């Protein structure tokens, strides 16, 4: 099996202040991996390094054993907010990444249309974002991310802005979708339950300057029950205890 995405001893500082201190992690093909940590620990900095918005001060970032090329967007990125364009209908929001990459609008629409039903958007392709629920907007944003066909999905708190019930439903939906498609995913989240529910492995960051405090494997079959599982609750407790200890 190829190594997939790797960060080896990656460090980053701003204005002489260390933010990341020798971060090492691995996301193998078809794995779902999460990063959790205290607020301000540098989780978004990690994503900015992976998207090429920043360059590391030390260490290396590799994909399939080769160094990432600066300026080349290898991965698909979904930000915290859905970032849908209010003046574009659903069909044209979901094709945006393909069009930016050079695909014609007609070809992009032809690629997206077969996926609308699976993402719960069939019949809504002519709607504008303001006409959608929060969950539908997030599904549209994820479809826009997935359809680009990149080898790794980078998800930055994708459900953080949703109400508790919608967030739980979206987590369950994503778990089912991932089980079906086995995308390679790196998720940034503050939600300990979300990390335990979705992940094969969780990297817990310390407070700044961020180090990998602990790596927690989640050896539970997918998809997982969102509630009522003693094994899942034990994983959540382990993540929480690690976070609490890092703040002491």
Q: What is the model's pLDDT at position 185?
A: 96
Mean pLDDT in residue range 204-222: 92
Residues 6+ apart with CB under 8 A from 192: 36, 236, 239, 240, 243
Residues 207 and 42: their CA atoms lie apart, in Å, by 9
Neighbours of 44 (CB within 10 A): 17
pLDDT tens per residue, range 153-188: 999 998 887 888 888 888 989 999 999 999 999 999
Mean pLDDT in residue range 191-217: 93
Mean pLDDT in residue range 225-246: 84
Residues 182, 186, 188, 194, Cα dihedral to 10°: 30
Q: Strand 185-188 to strand 32-36: parallel, antiparallel, or no bridges (unpaired)? A: parallel
The listed CATH number (3.20.20.70, 3.10.105.10, 3.40.1190.20, 3.40.50.300) that belongs to domain 5-75+153-247: 3.40.50.300
pLDDT tens per residue, range 15-44: 989 999 999 999 999 999 999 998 888 888
Q: How many Å from the N-terminal Cα to the C-terminal Cα in the chain?
A: 39
pLDDT tens per residue, range 52-96: 888 999 999 999 888 887 666 779 999 888 889 999 999 999 999
Note the helical H segments in the chain: 43-51, 90-94, 96-100, 105-112, 134-146, 164-181, 192-198, 230-247
pLDDT band, residue 225 (cuts 50/70/90)? confident
Q: Is the pLDDT of residue 248 over 70?
A: no
pLDDT tens per residue, range 101-158: 899 999 999 999 999 999 999 999 999 999 999 999 999 999 999 999 999 999 999 8
Q: Is the pLDDT of residue 2 over 60?
A: no
Q: CA dist 169 to 54, 117, 133, 136, 237, Å?
A: 34, 17, 13, 11, 22
Q: What pTM value is reported for the model?
A: 0.92
């Amino acid at each position: 099996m190829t190594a997939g995405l790797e960060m080896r001893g990656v460090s980053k500082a701003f204005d002489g202040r260390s933010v990341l201190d020798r971060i090492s992690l691995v996301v193998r093909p078809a794995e779902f991996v999460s990063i959790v940590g205290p607020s301000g620990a540098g989780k978004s900095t990690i994503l900015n390094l992976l998207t090429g918005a920043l360059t590391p001060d030390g260490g290396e970032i590799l994909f399939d054993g080769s160094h990432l090329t600066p300026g080349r967007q290898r991965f698909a990125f979904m930000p915290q907010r859905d970032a849908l364009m209010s003046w574009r209908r659903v069909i044209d929001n979901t094709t945006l990444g393909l069009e930016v990459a050079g695909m014609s609008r007609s070809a992009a629409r032809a690629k997206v249309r077969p996926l609308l039903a699976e993402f719960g958007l069939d019949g809504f392709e002519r709607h504008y974002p303001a006409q959608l629920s929060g969950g539908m907007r997030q599904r549209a944003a994820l479809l826009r991310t997935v359809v680009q066909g990149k080898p790794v999905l980078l998800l930055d708190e994708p459900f953080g802005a949703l109400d508790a019930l919608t967030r739980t439903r979206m987590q369950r939906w994503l778990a089912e979708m991932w089980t079906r498609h086995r995308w390679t995913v790196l998720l940034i989240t503050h939600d300990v339950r979300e990390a335990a529910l979705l992940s094969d492995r969780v990297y817990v960051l310390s407070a700044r300057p961020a180090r990998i405090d602990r790596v927690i494997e989640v050896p539970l079959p997918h998809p997982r029950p969102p509630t009522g599982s003693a094994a899942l609750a034990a994983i959540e407790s382990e993540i929480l205890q690690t976070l609490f200890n890092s703040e002491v």
